[in-house]
Amino acid sequence: MAATTKETIDLLLESYSMELETVMNYLANSVNLDGVRAEEIKKSLGADVPGEIAHAQQLAHRIKQLGGQIPGSKALVLGNQIQPVTVTTDVVGVIKSVIAAEEAACAQYKKIIKAVEGEDYVTQDLCIRLLADEEEHLVQFKGFLKEYTTG
């Protein structure tokens, strides 16, 4: 049975919060990392921030279209992701946290895709496109991890 409109909005709000949290963590790590080995990761994370913001914007528009409201900072549920590393040279730790965030995002979008199957094709299409972006990031960072852990 397909999700109700309220259930769909709640799932989209969860994704919206996840995207904003990702923006904050990627931004922090793109600035905080130190060392020669960190430069490529910093650049990649910095380049991903606008895309993650765009995801949040797309989700926000869909939530509004469905009759929901976009929460402000006090109403957001954050802190579910691995936080930025405290050791600024822990490049592998950052890569692993990015992989965890991307895996969580992929799982969330798959959950929404299934929940709206056969009923809300617009939301389903949006989540399929967002899933494709997240899977691309996931593959990229898994590749980075291979380089850092097998080299």
Indicate the length of the chain as a whole number: 151
The one-letter amino acid at 101? A
CATH number, domain at 55?
A: 1.20.1260.10
How far is 129 from 80, CA to CA, in rounded Å? 23
Radius of gyration of the chain (CA): 16
Rounded to 5°, angle at Cα 52 from 28 and 125: 160
Q: Which helix (H) or strand (E) holds 20?
A: helix 5-32
Q: What percent of the chain has a predicted confidence (pLDDT) above 70?
A: 99
66-79 CB burial, b ≥16 within 10 A, e <16? eebeeeeeeeeeee
Confirm whether 96 is domain-assigned.
yes
Query: 76 pLDDT exceeds 90?
Result: no
Confirm whether 79 is domain-assigned.
no
- Domain holding 9, by residue range, is 5-70+85-150
Output the six-digit token pair for 143.
């590749």
Q: What average pLDDT does the segment 79-93 reach?
A: 85
Confirm whether 28 is domain-assigned.
yes
Query: 84 pLDDT exceeds 80?
Result: no
pTM for this prediction: 0.93
Q: Which helix (H) or strand (E) holds 28?
A: helix 5-32
How far is 109 from 112, CA to CA, in rounded Å? 5
Confirm whether 80 is domain-assigned.
no
Confirm whether 77 is domain-assigned.
no
pLDDT tens digits for range 36-73 = 989 999 999 999 999 999 999 999 999 999 999 999 98
* Alpha helix ranges (H) inside 66-120: 91-115
Confirm whether 78 is domain-assigned.
no
Q: What average pLDDT does the segment 76-88 reach?
A: 81
Position 150 scores a pLDDT of 74
Position 151 scores a pLDDT of 54
Query: 93 pLDDT exceeds 70?
Result: yes
Confirm whether 76 is domain-assigned.
no
**Residue 149's pLDDT band (cuts 50, 70, 90):** confident
- 50 exposed, middle or buried (CB, 10 Å; 0-12, 13-18, 19+)? exposed
Number of structural domains (the chain) is: 1
What are the residues whose beta carbons fall under 8 Å from the beta carbon of 25, sequence distance 6 or more?
81, 82, 83, 84, 97, 101
Q: What average pLDDT does the segment 12-24 reach?
A: 95
Confirm whether 35 is domain-assigned.
yes
